[in-house]
Amino acid sequence: MDFKDKIIDWYRIYHRELPWRNTTDPYKIWLSEIILQQTRVKQGLPYYLKFSEAFPTIIDFANASEDYVLKLWEGLGYYSRARNMHKTANHIVDKLGAEFPKSYADLIQLKGIGDYTASAISSFSANEVHAVVDGNVFRVLSRIYGISTPIDSSLGKKEFKNLASELICSNNPGLFNQSIMEFGAIQCTPKNPKCESCPFEDSCIAFAKNQTDVLPIKKNAIKQRTRYFEYLILINENQTIIKKRTEKDIWQNLFDFPLIENPSPKSEEQIIEQLNQIITTSFKVASVTAPIKHILSHQKLWVRFWKLMVPDLVIFKNKDLIVSFEDIDEYAFPKVVDNYLSIHELE
């Protein structure tokens, strides 16, 4: 029995039931695929249900504001996915007659869709023969075939794409693609793969050589930057100041508070010095949090929140927005800010 039959047989027995399977609607598949980019099924599932309900069709999606799309996306991370989805929804409605593309050639031209996502949607919705190569496929193939080419090199991407394209079941490419990814997610896991109950136990090169813990190979070594954020929660009666992050930085188009960023850690006394320079009116420090560590994939943030009572709210920049406490949950905030707001009642 060859690779494709083994992997599909495994899938028929062990796969999970998920709401975006059993449909060939490319719109619904697109929703699920974008949400699941670099995101585990367990984390993405509630967002898929939320988006499906809020936007039953591509037209509903396009009619929404970007701010509302980001509000629904709040907490999921990699917010460019939401911004690109909104642009793509409008493009499809305005330029493609609201008909969601099904072919790889058309899909690959859309914002936010690369080789993986175009292969996934076209194979699931139209049975086009395009092999998906995601993190699961890299892992499964590198182990079973004993391939040590780094998966984050251009040569590696080409090599694994070619191999997956040779192995794919041309009669049912969608089922094959689902199968190999599900196999990677459930059986051939990154840590502690279930090799003792694996249908490839007799043929897997990594298992034979005891190399499952080193394959797949990554060149990796991403260095991350440390930043120090002091958020100013300026309060007058039942109002505060927020601003939209329009600059080219993390959390683009989300909202947060007036921010002092320092290149090195500062004491509370030093921050109060800075506050005296910036805030022209009198103010009283009602509370300050201990530094909160917030890890991103490429940055380490130390975040403090300063609750400051002021006699009136002075606009620092024209991006600033005065909002009352009861309206604040209309806006999309980064997780670390949202966490603060849910713990500390503003009053």
Partner DNA sequence: AAACCGGGGCT
Partner DNA sequence: AGCCCAGGTTT
Contact between 155 and DNA per CB under 7 A:
yes
Contact between 303 and DNA per CB under 7 A:
no
Tell the smallest beta-carbon distance from residue 12 to DNA (Å): 14
Q: Which of 33, 74, 159, 182 is an active site residue?
A: 33
- Kindly tell me which of 241 and 336 has the beta carbon lying closer to DNA: 336
Contact between 36 and DNA per CB under 7 A:
yes
- Kindly tell me which of 146 and 275 has the beta carbon lying closer to DNA: 146
Contact between 32 and DNA per CB under 7 A:
yes
Amino acid residing at 300: K
Tell the smallest beta-carbon distance from residue 275 to DNA (Å): 25
Q: Are 100 and 58 in contact (CB under 8 A)?
A: yes
Contacts 24+ apart (CB under 8 A), 169-176: 169/4, 169/5, 169/8, 170/129, 172/8, 172/127, 173/123, 173/127, 173/128, 173/129, 173/130, 173/131, 174/123, 174/124, 174/125, 174/127, 175/8, 175/11, 176/4, 176/7, 176/8, 176/123, 176/131
Q: Are 144 and 162 in contact (CB under 8 A)?
A: no
Structure tokens at 297: 């994939």
The one among 195, 288, 296, 328 contacting DNA by CB under 7 A: 296
The one among 3, 51, 104, 138 contacting DNA by CB under 7 A: 138
- Kindly tell me which of 225 and 317 has the beta carbon lying closer to DNA: 225
Catalytic annotation present for 128: no
Contact between 172 and DNA per CB under 7 A:
no
- Kindly tell me which of 24 and 38 has the beta carbon lying closer to DNA: 38
Q: How far apart are CA 176 and CA 234, in angstroms?
A: 55
3-class SS at 196? helix
The one among 41, 64, 313, 341 contacting DNA by CB under 7 A: 41
Q: How far apart are CA 273 and CA 267, in angstroms?
A: 10
The one among 7, 113, 144, 235 contacting DNA by CB under 7 A: 113
Structure tokens at 226: 């440390």
The one among 184, 235, 303, 304 contacting DNA by CB under 7 A: 184
Structure tokens at 220: 């990796």
Structure tokens at 63: 């009619």
Tell the smallest beta-carbon distance from residue 254 to DNA (Å): 8
9-28 positions binding DNA, by CB under 7 A: 18, 20-21
3-class SS at 157? helix
> Comparing C-alpha atoms, which of 57, 63, 56, 86 is closest to residue 73?
86
- Kindly tell me which of 90 and 239 has the beta carbon lying closer to DNA: 90
66-105 positions binding DNA, by CB under 7 A: 75-80, 84
Q: Are 118 and 108 in contact (CB under 8 A)?
A: yes
Q: Which residues pair with 75 in a beta bridge?
A: none
Contact between 8 and DNA per CB under 7 A:
no
Q: Are 155 and 204 in contact (CB under 8 A)?
A: no
Question: Residues in the chain, how many?
Answer: 347
Tell the smallest beta-carbon distance from residue 273 to DNA (Å): 28
- Kindly tell me which of 55 and 229 has the beta carbon lying closer to DNA: 229
The one among 58, 85, 118, 141 contacting DNA by CB under 7 A: 118
- Kindly tell me which of 8 and 313 has the beta carbon lying closer to DNA: 8
Number of residues engaging DNA in binding (CB under 7 A)? 65
Q: Are 121 and 34 in contact (CB under 8 A)?
A: no
Q: Which residues contact 249 (CB under 8 A, 6 or more apart)?
A: none
Q: Which residues bind DNA (CB under 7 A)?
A: 18, 20-21, 32-33, 36-43, 75-80, 84, 111-118, 120, 134-136, 138-139, 153-155, 178, 181-182, 184-185, 190-192, 218-220, 222-223, 225, 248-252, 294-299, 334-336
Residues identified as active-site: 33
